[in-house]
Amino acid sequence: MLGGYTIGYLYYAIALFIASGLLILNIDVKNFQKSKQKKEWKVSRMIGWFNVIAGILTLMMNWVL
């Protein structure tokens, strides 16, 4: 890679998965619940948890493997 120091992108990806999931759960899920947008609330809850779980699973797999 030209220029720059790097530690590999896996840990950045894990942090992004968990942080994005938490942001969705804390901002979007709450807002959709307040505005009574049922479908959007369901989908945002699902994708929020998906990202959090994907991040945790990747972290655990990285430790085990």
Binders in 2-61 for other proteins, by CB under 8 A: 2-7, 9, 12-13, 16-17, 20, 23-24, 28, 32, 37, 39-40, 43-44, 47-48, 50-51, 54-55
Question: How far, in Å, CA of 51 to CA of 34, rounded?
Answer: 22
Secondary structure (3-state) at 35: coil
Q: How far lies 40's CA from each of 46, 49, 55, in Å?
A: 10, 14, 22
The site for other proteins (CB under 8 A) is made up of 1-7, 9, 12-13, 16-17, 20, 23-24, 28, 32, 37, 39-40, 43-44, 47-48, 50-51, 54-55
